[in-house]
């Protein structure tokens, strides 16, 4: 007679005793129990059994060391089996590894880029305490942040605020012609700085002494490559270089070339002392220098900024607060946080922080898609290995060992993928550098922290993707495993969620990319209201300006030149603002407006439409004196609603004694970057030639010979000045460089997202279809056509894509609308693009699946069914 001990207690025993000991101990306890039932009552025996189980708690940590158990052998076996599995399913392995590797590579490169952006200016030791002094200028309705400050601000702040330890100003002289012997060189960027420059910033000095550099005004610091260019292998220290006959400089020091990750870029430095005139020292009003302050560590920046209003009033008057507000920008923010700051000329490769965030987000998504894919494929793949698991279990594999096997396989795959990813990165980092104009180096990751992060993440992916198959397979019932029953019903829900997630992300990324690209194209091809085609601009200098009239007439006589004009500011740059006055009724009203001074034929050359009145002209003496003004519509509306009234309005600007007149109204042509809306603008000429550049409109056709003609005219007139030029439309393209880089990177990521998602679906569909082979065979036998089978097989994936679309479309719409709102001129966000992308993703999903479906649909049903 067999009696049964309490089930609960036996279950408890199972959970107490380790797996490998349970059978022995369970048997012993059972035997003792049975023996007792012969002499004692059943209840008593059961109570004693319970007591035995409870006493067995002492054996909770007991393990049986297997004498001949060498785990190494088994791990070797796992690896071997994993490799065989990889080779047996070559396509699947390739897809799985390639997908994950692509995702990892994209993620690594993006992180590299983001780190590079965040480390901009990171080489200055005092970076924590260096701030740039910026202004908020308010003129009427327009308020803008400006990177410039006034000449006396730095020294006065050092004087007034104990928090300020040091200051340096940075005042560019732009391009300078430099003579040495009979040779001439252009220095791309020569900058005037204060004596404290090297105390605040860490640019490495190779030769010479910076102290000496500031001791006497006429000294010069060169960068290494300039010194190399001019002096070759000679020692440049103490050598004389001429900017002009009056300006001779002695080279006092040579510094290392400016690192690419510095927002300040220059080729030569000259001391500020030469320009530190009394006039400038008291010039509270003009903003033309960048001021950098070094503060006491842990200064309360907000408290310091709060004192700036009083500071401004102290040196000027109460009225200044209406137009100016000062604020401090940490050095670490200058590179990424200056997108809303204008007149920011000393900010090399400036980039927007939001773009960096978008990149990071996308990189994360791509990695997520890739990992999800990897997990998905892994789970799908193990479903076909249930027989193997069954055999392993029946010859005595423990649960833990089965789990270990799948985890090992997952490790193998992920680390293979990591290796491939690193190879991809190494190969592609150079072309990426060219595309985004950076100097990224993969060696950046060779620090313990980064290696730990990379390996840690890979480990995590391996564990996560190995975990699910391990869990499912180790819990699999031996009998059903041996029968080869698949796991289809148990985890297809989980897999479907993953597919939906992938497609939702992919759809969002594609829609986002296409809208960004459209916006960018829109801005670049938009009719700006003036014709910038085939216009080249030549920079003008003091000496060349003196011969402007001659230059103009010589150029105009060339066969390939259509017309020549000149300007003080280049279109596309944020034009400067200035105060102006106009007479309305009887009162003189003061206001602020953007302005540009141009040669009289400027409006004709650029083909800007005149709405009312006339253009500036040589015929009028007043025009030539700069007393006739043209205003744009925005300014005209400010003056009067009645356009005819505007014509003839007295208008005043600058130091001129007499009142001028408005002679014409221009269309609101878009003279700024399109992020800004068109603000009021007036145009006049200046009687003395003091142009910053000459614009030459050339005839279509032979552009090369046109440029050759312009060059020969220039060289004849100014033999000392090397010829330089730039196409205006190139300049406009550069305005959107940061956006273009954004688009390039996003497009690549979007493509990757799609490729990886498709790869995943392709792999997955082969498993999905295989599991339904018999069903399809029966359907065919019962008379289903090939088309019907295809439709049935496509139904599921269509549903998944639809769900993905429904989830991601509204979210994407909201985010994109938000982004487009940042532009004054933006494309409208139509529903069309959503439908298009949704449809295309559906089609691509169908195509991906169809390969496998078609195979099944065309298969002879006998082949599938005969094995049953």
Partner 1 sequence: MKGIHLGEFEELVLLAVASMKTDAYAVSIKNEIEEKVDRKSNISAIHTALYRLEDKGFLDSYLGEATAKRGGKGKRLFKVTAYGYQALKEAQDKRKVFWELIPQLSIQGI
Supply the minimum distance, in Å, between the C-beta of residue 17 and partner 1: 9
484: left (phi over 0), alpha (psi -120 to 50) or beta: left
Q: In this structure, what DSSP letter does residue 859 have? A: S
Supply the minimum distance, in Å, between the C-beta of residue 4 and partner 1: 9
Bridge-partner residues for 177, per DSSP? 186
Q: Round to whole Å and give the CA distance between 727 and 596.
A: 20
Torsion angles phi and psi, residue 161, rounded to 5: -115, 120
Give SS3 for 213: helix
Supply the minimum distance, in Å, between the C-beta of residue 23 and partner 1: 5
Q: In this structure, what DSSP letter does residue 384 have? A: G
Supply the minimum distance, in Å, between the C-beta of residue 82 and partner 1: 32
Supply the minimum distance, in Å, between the C-beta of residue 25 and partner 1: 6
Supply the minimum distance, in Å, between the C-beta of residue 504 and partner 1: 53
Q: How many CB atoms neighbour CB 264 within 10 A?
A: 21
422-448: burial string, b at 16+ Cβ within 10 Å, e else: bebbeeebeebeeebebebeeeebeee
**Considering beta carbons, is residue 27 or 654 the nearer one to partner 1?**
27
**Considering beta carbons, is residue 23 or 256 the nearer one to partner 1?**
23
Supply the minimum distance, in Å, between the C-beta of residue 6 and partner 1: 14
**Considering beta carbons, is residue 36 or 780 the nearer one to partner 1?**
36
Q: Round to whole Å and give the CA distance between 459 and 452.
A: 10
Q: What's the token pair of residue 2?
A: 């067999």
Supply the minimum distance, in Å, between the C-beta of residue 31 and partner 1: 5
**Considering beta carbons, is residue 55 or 542 the nearer one to partner 1?**
55
Q: Round to whole Å and give the CA distance between 496 and 375.
A: 12
* Long-range contacts of residues 544-551, Cβ cutoff 8 Å, at least 24 apart: 544/717, 544/718, 544/721, 545/689, 545/690, 545/691, 546/689, 547/717, 547/718, 548/689, 548/691, 548/694, 549/689, 550/717, 551/694, 551/713, 551/714, 551/717
**Considering beta carbons, is residue 10 or 184 the nearer one to partner 1?**
10
Supply the minimum distance, in Å, between the C-beta of residue 40 and partner 1: 15
**Considering beta carbons, is residue 9 or 358 the nearer one to partner 1?**
9
**Considering beta carbons, is residue 59 or 690 the nearer one to partner 1?**
59
**Considering beta carbons, is residue 44 or 490 the nearer one to partner 1?**
44
**Considering beta carbons, is residue 31 or 644 the nearer one to partner 1?**
31
Supply the minimum distance, in Å, between the C-beta of residue 29 and partner 1: 6
Q: How many CB atoms neighbour CB 32 within 10 A?
A: 14
Supply the minimum distance, in Å, between the C-beta of residue 404 and partner 1: 23
Q: Are 255 and 197 in contact (CB under 8 A)?
A: no
Supply the minimum distance, in Å, between the C-beta of residue 776 and partner 1: 44
**Considering beta carbons, is residue 5 or 208 the nearer one to partner 1?**
5
Q: Select from 577, 564, 597, 578 the least CA-distant residue to 684.
A: 597
Q: Round to whole Å and give the CA distance between 142 and 569.
A: 20
Q: Round to whole Å and give the CA distance between 788 and 780.
A: 9
Supply the minimum distance, in Å, between the C-beta of residue 360 and partner 1: 53
Supply the minimum distance, in Å, between the C-beta of residue 765 and partner 1: 46
**Considering beta carbons, is residue 28 or 590 the nearer one to partner 1?**
28
**Considering beta carbons, is residue 51 or 855 the nearer one to partner 1?**
51
Supply the minimum distance, in Å, between the C-beta of residue 400 and partner 1: 19
Handedness of CA 603, 609, 614, 619 (dihedral sign): positive
Bridge-partner residues for 190, per DSSP? 268
> Beta strand 726-727 with 535-539: parallel, antiparallel or unpaired?
antiparallel
Question: CA angle at residue 346 from 342 to 348, to 5 degrees?
Answer: 105
Full strand arrangement of the beta sheet holding 535-539? 561-567, 693-698, 535-539, 726-727
Supply the minimum distance, in Å, between the C-beta of residue 61 and partner 1: 10
**Considering beta carbons, is residue 62 or 824 the nearer one to partner 1?**
62
Residues contacting 38, CB < 8 A, separation 6+: none
Q: Are 49 and 6 in contact (CB under 8 A)?
A: yes
Helices (H) and strands (E) in the chain, counts: 33, 26
Question: CA angle at residue 393 from 389 to 395, to 5 degrees?
Answer: 125
Residues contacting 496, CB < 8 A, separation 6+: 796, 800
* Full DSSP string of 528-568: -SS--TTEEEEE--HHHHTTHHHHHHHHHTSTTEEEEEEES
**Considering beta carbons, is residue 36 or 263 the nearer one to partner 1?**
36
**Considering beta carbons, is residue 32 or 301 the nearer one to partner 1?**
32
Residues that bind partner 1 (CB under 8 A): 2, 21, 23-32, 34-35, 51-52, 55-56, 58-59, 62, 64-65
**Considering beta carbons, is residue 22 or 450 the nearer one to partner 1?**
22
């Amino acid at each position: 007679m067999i009696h049964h001990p309490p089930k609960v207690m036996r279950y408890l025993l199972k959970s107490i005793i380790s797996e490998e000991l349970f059978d022995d101990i369970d048997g012993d306890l059972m035997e003792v129990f049975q023996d007792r039932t012969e002499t004692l009552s059943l209840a008593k025996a059961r109570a004693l059994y319970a007591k035995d189980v409870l006493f067995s708690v002492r054996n909770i940590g007991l393990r049986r060391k297997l004498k001949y158990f060498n785990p190494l052998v088994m791990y070797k076996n796992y690896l071997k089996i994993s490799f065989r599995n990889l080779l047996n399913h070559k396509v699947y392995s390739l897809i799985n590894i390639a997908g994950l590797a692509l995702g990892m590579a994209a993620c690594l490169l993006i992180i590299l880029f983001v780190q590079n952006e965040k480390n901009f200016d990171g080489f200055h030791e005092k970076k924590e305490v260096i701030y740039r002094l910026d202004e908020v200028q308010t003129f009427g309705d327009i308020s803008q942040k400006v990177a410039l400050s006034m000449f006396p601000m730095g020294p006065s702040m050092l004087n007034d605020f104990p928090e300020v330890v040091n200051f340096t100003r940075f005042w560019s002289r732009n391009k300078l012609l430099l003579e040495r012997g009979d040779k001439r060189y252009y220095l791309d960027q020569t900058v005037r700085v204060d004596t404290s420059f090297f105390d605040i910033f860490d640019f490495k000095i190779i030769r010479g002494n910076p102290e000496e550099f500031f001791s006497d005004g006429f000294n010069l610091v060169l960068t290494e490559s300039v010194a190399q260019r001019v002096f070759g292998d000679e020692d440049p220290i103490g050598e004389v270089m001429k900017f002009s006959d009056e300006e001779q400089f002695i080279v006092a020091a040579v510094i290392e070339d400016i690192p690419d990750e510095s927002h300040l870029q220059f080729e030569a430095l000259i001391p500020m002392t030469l320009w530190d005139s009394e006039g400038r020292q008291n010039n509270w009003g003009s903003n033309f220098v960048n001021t950098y302050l070094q503060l006491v560590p842990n200064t309360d920046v907000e408290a310091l900024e709060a004192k700036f209003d009083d500071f401004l009033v102290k040196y000027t008057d109460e009225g200044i607060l209406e137009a100016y507000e000062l604020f401090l920008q940490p050095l670490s923010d200058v590179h990424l946080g200056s997108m809303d700051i204008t007149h920011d000329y000393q900010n090399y490769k400036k980039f927007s922080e939001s773009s960096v965030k978008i990149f990071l987000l996308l990189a994360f998504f791509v990695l997520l898609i890739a990992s999800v894919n990897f997990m998905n494929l892994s789970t799908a793949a193990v479903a076909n290995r249930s027989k193997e698991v069954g055999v392993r279990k029946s010859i005595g594999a423990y649960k833990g060992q089965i789990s270990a096997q799948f985890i090992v396989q997952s490790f193998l795959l992920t680390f293979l993928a990591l290796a491939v990813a690193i190879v991809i990165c190494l190969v592609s980092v150079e072309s990426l550098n060219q595309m985004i104009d950076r100097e990224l180096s993969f060696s950046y990751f060779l620090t313990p922290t980064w290696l730990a992060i990379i390996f840690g993440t890979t480990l995590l992916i391996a564990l996560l993707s190995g975990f699910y198959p391990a869990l499912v397979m180790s819990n699999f019932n031996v009998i059903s495993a041996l029968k080869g029953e698949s796991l289809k019903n148990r985890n297809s829900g989980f897999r479907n969620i993953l597919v939906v997630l992938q497609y939702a992300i992919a759809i969002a990324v594609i829609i986002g990319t296409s809208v960004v690209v459209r916006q960018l194209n829109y801005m670049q091809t938009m009719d700006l209201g003036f014709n910038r085609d085939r216009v080249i601009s030549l920079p003008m200098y003091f000496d060349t300006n003196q011969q402007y009239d001659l230059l103009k007439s010589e150029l105009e006589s060339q066969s390939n030149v259509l017309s020549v004009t000149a300007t003080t500011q280049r279109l596309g740059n944020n034009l400067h603002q200035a105060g102006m006055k106009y007479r309305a009724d009887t009162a003189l009203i003061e206001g602020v407006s953007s302005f540009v001074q141009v040669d009289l034929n400027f409006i004709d050359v650029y083909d800007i439409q005149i709405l009312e009145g006339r253009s500036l002209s040589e015929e009028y003496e007043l025009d030539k004196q700069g007393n006739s003004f043209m205003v744009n519509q925005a300014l005209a509306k400010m003056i009067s609603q009645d356009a005819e009234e505007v014509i003839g309005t007295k208008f005043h600007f600058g130091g001129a004694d007499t009142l001028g007149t408005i002679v014409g109204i221009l269309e609101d042509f878009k003279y700024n970057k399109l992020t800004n809306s068109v603000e009021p603008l007036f145009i006049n000429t200046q009687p003395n030639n003091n142009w910053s550049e000459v614009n030459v409109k050339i005839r279509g056709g032979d552009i090369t010979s046109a440029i050759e003609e312009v060059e020969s005219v220039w060289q004849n007139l100014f033999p000392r000045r090397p010829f330089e030029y730039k196409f205006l439309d190139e300049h406009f393209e550069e305005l959107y460089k940061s956006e273009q880089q954004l688009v390039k990177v996003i497009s690549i990521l979007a493509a990757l997202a799609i490729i990886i998602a498709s790869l995943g679906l392709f792999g997955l569909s082969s498993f999905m279809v295989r599991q339904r082979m018999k069903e399809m065979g029966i359907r065919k036998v019962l008379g289903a056509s090939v088309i019907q089978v295809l439709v049935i097989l496509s139904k599921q994936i269509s549903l998944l894509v639809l769900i993905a679309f429904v989830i991601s479309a509204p979210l994407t719409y909201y985010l994109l609308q938000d982004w487009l709102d940042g532009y004054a001129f933006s494309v409208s966000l139509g529903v069309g693009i959503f439908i298009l992308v949704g449809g295309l993703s559906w089609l691509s999903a169908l195509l991906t699946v169809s390969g496998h479906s078609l195979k099944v649909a065309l298969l002879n049903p006998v082949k599938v069914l005969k094995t049953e």
